[in-house]
């Protein structure tokens, strides 16, 4: 059996953990605020102490070995706990500081959180927000960020999901088209008629799935919701602005949150389609690892968000 080396250090484990999570020595070095050479050397010393290579290296990529994966799974909770404990002791009498990584879908940022996050950054300049926009949602993504935001409360069992305070104005999923499109092709008056029209579909950038259109089955807002994929596709896009551009040109009927097109609707550049059938956007939830809330910057952000309406 390989003899355990008792000269493995906290810094070596931090370097290893960061390389594992970032998948790149240079990225890990930037995140840790030290040179790539220092991170690489720390990894080499740790591998020597462990007695096994922890990563497979090529000229273009680095990937964990089986030993590396096993080591990460075993040590990362303890390393996180130790890091949090050190931060709590060191920062007790200081303003919360450090990097706070956030993950959210682009539409959540644009419609609900843009102003809220900018105001937070101005109010707490010693905390550096690191915002990643992504529609991906899996356990790997969850654990690579301090806090995430998603529609709905379905998250990993190890995470806490907290509903954000809703503002007074309701946000709905809207169908829309240009007046030119309506004058040429008419306006659908039912969900069934919608299938006969040219649709601009949205493909999620990360999952690459086409997003279905969700509508109430009848004009009664209490009626059940239906999800449908259009049978007549004019274009497929993966960006909200591109969808609006296509709709403005009369290419087809688009589908986005009404808040994303409020200016175009107000000006008459776009007109609502089947508005009586629109449904509310699912509630936005904030999710995080319960252990992370012990750090002051995370606790500060959670407290701030509890006072906001979005």
120 lies in some domain: yes
For residue 235, tell me if it sits in a domain.
Answer: yes
Report the CATH number at residue 265.
3.40.190.10
pTM of the predicted model, to two decimals? 0.65
Please indicate whether residue 3 or residue 248 has the higher confidence score (pLDDT): 248
Q: Where are the alpha helices (H) located in the chain, listed in sequence order?
A: 10-22, 25-32, 36-50, 66-90, 106-108, 114-123, 139-143, 179-185, 191-194, 240-248, 262-267, 296-306
Residues 273, 287 share a domain: no
Domain identity same for 177 and 274: yes
User: Would you state the pLDDT for residue 137?
Assistant: 54
Of 29, 59, 88, the last residue of a domain is 88
**Tens of pLDDT along 146-197?**
999 988 766 677 788 898 877 666 889 999 999 999 999 999 999 999 999 9
pLDDT of residue 1: 40
The rounded mean pLDDT for the chain is: 88
Q: Give the structural domain span for 157.
A: 98-165+283-306
Predicted confidence (pLDDT) per residue in 22-42, tens digit? 999 999 999 899 999 999 999
Q: Report the largest interatomic distance among the alpha carbons of the chain, rounded to a whole angstrom.
A: 80
pLDDT score recorded for residue 125: 94
245 and 298 in a single domain? The answer is no
Provide the domain count of the chain: 3
pLDDT of residue 140: 46
For residues 255 and 214, what is the distance between their CA atoms, to the nearest angstrom?
9
């Amino acid at each position: 059996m390989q003899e355990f080396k008792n000269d493995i250090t906290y810094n070596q484990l931090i370097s290893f953990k960061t390389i594992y999570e970032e998948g790149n020595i240079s990225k890990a070095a930037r995140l840790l605020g030290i040179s790539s050479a220092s991170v690489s050397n720390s990894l080499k010393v740790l591998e020597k102490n462990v007695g096994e290579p922890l990563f497979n290296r090529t000229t273009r990529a680095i990937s964990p070995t089986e030993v590396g994966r096993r080591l990460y799974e075993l040590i990362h909770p303890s390393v996180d706990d130790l890091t949090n404990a050190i931060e709590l002791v060191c920062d007790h009498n200081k303003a919360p500081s450090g990097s706070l990584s956030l993950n959210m879908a682009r539409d959540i940022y644009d419609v609900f959180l843009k102003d809220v996050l900018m105001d937070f950054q101005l109010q707490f300049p010693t905390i550096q927000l690191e915002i990643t926009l992504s529609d991906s949602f899996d356990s790997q993504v969850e654990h690579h960020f301090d806090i995430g935001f998603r529609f709905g409360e379905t998250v990993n069992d190890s995470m806490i999901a907290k509903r954000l305070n809703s503002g007074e104005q309701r946000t709905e999923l809207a169908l829309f088209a240009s007046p030119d499109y309506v004058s040429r092709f008419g306006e659908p008056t039912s969900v069934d008629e919608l299938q006969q029209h040219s649709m601009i579909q949205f493909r999620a950038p990360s999952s690459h799935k086409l997003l279905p259109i969700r509508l109430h089955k009848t004009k009664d807002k209490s009626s059940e919701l239906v999800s449908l994929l259009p049978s007549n596709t004019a274009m497929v896009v993966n960006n909200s602005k591109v969808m609006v551009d296509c709709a403005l040109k009369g290419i087809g009927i688009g589908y986005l949150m009404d808040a994303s097109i409020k200016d175009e609707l107000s000006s008459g550049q776009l007109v609502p389609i089947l508005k009586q059938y629109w449904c509310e956007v699912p509630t936005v939830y904030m999710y995080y690892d319960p252990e992370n809330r012990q750090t002051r910057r995370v606790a500060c952000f959670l407290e701030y968000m509890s006072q906001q309406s979005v």
